[in-house]
Structure 1
Amino acid sequence: MRDVDYDTKDESAYECFSCGTIVIAETNPGSCDDCGSDMRNRQTPIE
C-alpha cells in the first residue's frame, strides 16, 4: 500500500462527529455550524 501525498492547500471534506454535517474547506472549521460539535477531516482514518 502506498500513501497519497497530502497537500494542505487542497480543500478537504470535514464531517461533524455528532450530527454528520459535511463541510468543504481548506482548514478545519473547528466546530459544526449546526450543532457545535467537533469536526474531523474525512481523509484522516479513525482507528
Structure 2
Amino acid sequence: MTTTYSEWTAAQERATVAVDGHDLEVAYRDEGTGDPVVFLHGIPTNSYLFR
C-alpha cells in the first residue's frame, strides 16, 4: 500500500508537551498491537521515513 505524504500527515495525532518551559507540538501515530515501539527521526527529516 502506497501512502502519500498528505495522507500520512493527516493520519497523525498531535499533542503539546512542555520542555524546559517551552511548549512543543509533537505528532505521533498509535497503530498495531503488542509492546510499544518509539521511532525518533532527526532534523531535517520527518516521520514519513517510517511509513
TM-score (norm 1): 0.29
Determine which structure has more spread, i.e. the larger CA radius of gyration: 2
Larger helix proportion, structure 1 or 2? 2
TM-score (norm 2): 0.28
